[in-house]
Each structure stands twice: as C-alpha cells, then as structure tokens.
Structure 1
Amino acid sequence: MITVHHLNNSRSQRVLWLLEELGLPYEIVRYERDPKTMLAPRSLRAIHPLGKSPVLVDGDITVAESGAILEYLVGRYGNGRLKPPADTADARRYTYFLHYAEGSAMPPLLLKLVFVRMESAPVPFFAKPVARMMAKGGQKTFIDPQLKLHLDYLEGEIGQSGWFAGDEFTAADIQMSFPLEAAASRGGLDASRPRLTAFLERIHARPAYQAALKRGGDYDLAPKPPR
C-alpha cells in the first residue's frame, strides 16, 4: 500500500491528486502545521531527515520532493498515462516544467510570502518603519517584477491546448498547479492572464482534483465555493 505523509496546506496535495488521477489506492498520514510558525511538526523528521512534506512510502521505497514523487508514480504506475511519448518535444517540455515549477516559479512566490509577513511581523516600535520600508521596497523593486516576468512567460508558454506539455493533460500540469495557485493567492495572477486563469479553472473542475481535496483536508489555495 502506498502511504503519503501529508502536511496540510502544502505541496503534498499534488501527490494526492496524481494518485487519484491514476486510480491508485493509498493511505494518508496527516501532519498539521504549527499555527504560529506555519512550520511542519518535528515528527516528520522521523520519516525524512529534513522534516518536509510530501514524503511517499511505497513498500520499502521512500521518495521525497513532489517532483521526484510525481516522476516515480508516473514511471511505475502510469502505463504510459499522464506523460508524453519519450524523445519528443512534448517530453522535453514535460521534464522542463516538472523542474521549473519548484526551481524557478516558486522562489519569488516564497519571497513574496516572507516579505508580506515582514510588514506585520512583531518588531520593536522604533524599528517598524524601517522593517516596513524594507519589506515594501523589496517587493516593489525585485519580487513583484520577477513575478510579472514569470507570469507573462507562462501565459505565453501554456499554448493553445491549455496544457504545459502538449495537447494532453500530464503530470507536468499537476506539478505546475501549486505555483499557479500560489500566484493567484498572492502573486498577482488574475483575469488579466486569461490562459492561466482558464488553466486553473480546468484543473479545479477535474474529478480527481476534487477527490484529492476531500481526502487531503484543509488546502487554502483551492478555490472557495460560492456562498
């Protein structure tokens, strides 16, 4: 049985989604973030020394890092699904976006989160103006321009098909979901980029995505149901 060590509001939601797309049975071991620090609990270090999630255990095989987990699952259980044919242009795009999602897209989004929190972080009263000025300045001069650069690039790269690695939905689209959901939450992604907005709408409507939400629990980046 496959086991996913799953942290709420984290990248491990993508692993649950892929497992649902593949129709594989799995178990979840749940971990909750510290409500003050938002860090994972130390108990995750018993599974992986870095104490990060996701971690997947499949028999005597343990795999960490969401991109590596997606590659492992598609390679072992996909039977040709959710991946372009080898040695094609689409296959090269597939590999690229599996790595781009964390290697290039996520760093400015993480910086945005840190700098936004700096604006309201508890500091001595005499240091507050300086801290806020640094936080706002860092966002204006570096982070926000980087986010715009990446979103403009992705709006052009997603192509007429609406997917990142060819004409069909693949695991690369699952991998790209987290940075784009984060961008919609805090990085400036809105209706001014219709292709990316439509991409999010399509993936959120997939039955496997919805099933993963039910299994995984709290996930703040998911679309909120209408009231």
Structure 2
Amino acid sequence: MSDKTILRYTSNQRTNHWLVAILFLMAGLSGLALFHPALFWLSNLFGGGPWTRILHPFMGVLMFLLFLGLVFRFWRANYFIANDRLWLRRIDRVMKNEEEGVPPIGKYNPGQKLLFWTLLLCMLVLLFSGLVIWRAYFSEYFGITTIRWAMLLHALAGFVLILSIIVHIYAGIWIKGSVSAMVHGRVSRAWARKHHELWYRQVTQDETRDEAPTRPITKKG
C-alpha cells in the first residue's frame, strides 16, 4: 500500500478546472482589450473590436457557470477549521518548506481556502456587474449612474481576480506536485502526508475500510 498513489482529482474535476482556466484566459484577454486603448491590440485575437465586444460577455457567463461546477464539488472542503488559524500563524515555516510543528490540515490549506472564496466573490461581482453593462441585452434597464458604478466594480473585481489567479499559478508551481495533481489526478502518499495530513489520514482510512476482507457468513446447524 505504501507504493500506491492517491487520487486527488477525478477526470471530471480536472476537465472542469481546465475549461474554467481556458475561459478565464480568453475572457481576461478580451476584457483587457476593452479596458484600455493601449491594450486594444489584444482584440485581434478574437477577430477585432466588434467581435471582442460580442464574445467577451458570453465567455464570462460560461466561465461563471463552469466555475459553479467547481464550487459545488469543493465548497465543503474549503470550510475553515480550527487548525487553519494555527497554520496561518506558522506560515513562515511553510514558506521555508519546514512544516515540522505545523498543524495538520485537510484537503486544502488556509491559503487555498482564502483563494477559493475570493474567486467566488469576484466571479459573482463580475457576473452581476457584467449583466448591468451588457449593452445588447440589459443596460437599457439601468440608469447611467448604476452603469458607471457597475463598470467600476467590474474592473476592480477583474483586477483582483487576475492577481488571485497569478498567486494561484505561482503557488501551484512553488509546491512541487500540485500542477501534476491537476494534470494526472494523483499524488504520492509522501506528498499528501506532508502537505495535507488530515486529508491523507481520511483517504487512507477509507482505503483500509474498502480493502478490509469481509467475514464469510456461516449457517448454523
């Protein structure tokens, strides 16, 4: 059993994640093209300015819907527990890769949980503010003041989202094995035990329970 790897993400979960990542890249680039004239050249990636304006909101809505798939799958694992607060107090040890004495954590560390809820908040703000400023369908129902505030919130949420994703990518590269987990779906037992000990204990206990031999039923008499 010690040589086995542990399933961290199923194929459906990985596909969901990468579809969101692709749509984030497309929506982000098209949004930047519309954000400032200096970045308008990015619209060439989508067939020019008119097509960029048409496609951007549809890509944003699809990204949000697919992101909800991740929320439904992982929201329980992103609840904060008592050990998370202690983990944050000793984050200097984690940064140095010296995790001895750091409280064990579940499937996600507190940093990942903060990122999860930040992404969800940003996605919600982007969705609702985006609907307000979507000229082809909804903006006619709102006053100019509301539209201006929506544009400001949309830009702010987009900025926070981009920064959060940059942190997410950096952390995934920094913690060796994280990117591989989202590509192949499995992690080594040593990796799971070191970085997510509570989750490791739960998974290995479930495996032991599943692999336990059943006692044959004998008839009396």
- Give the TM-score normalised by structure 1: 0.31
Structure with larger Rg: 2
More strand by share: 1
More helix by share: 2
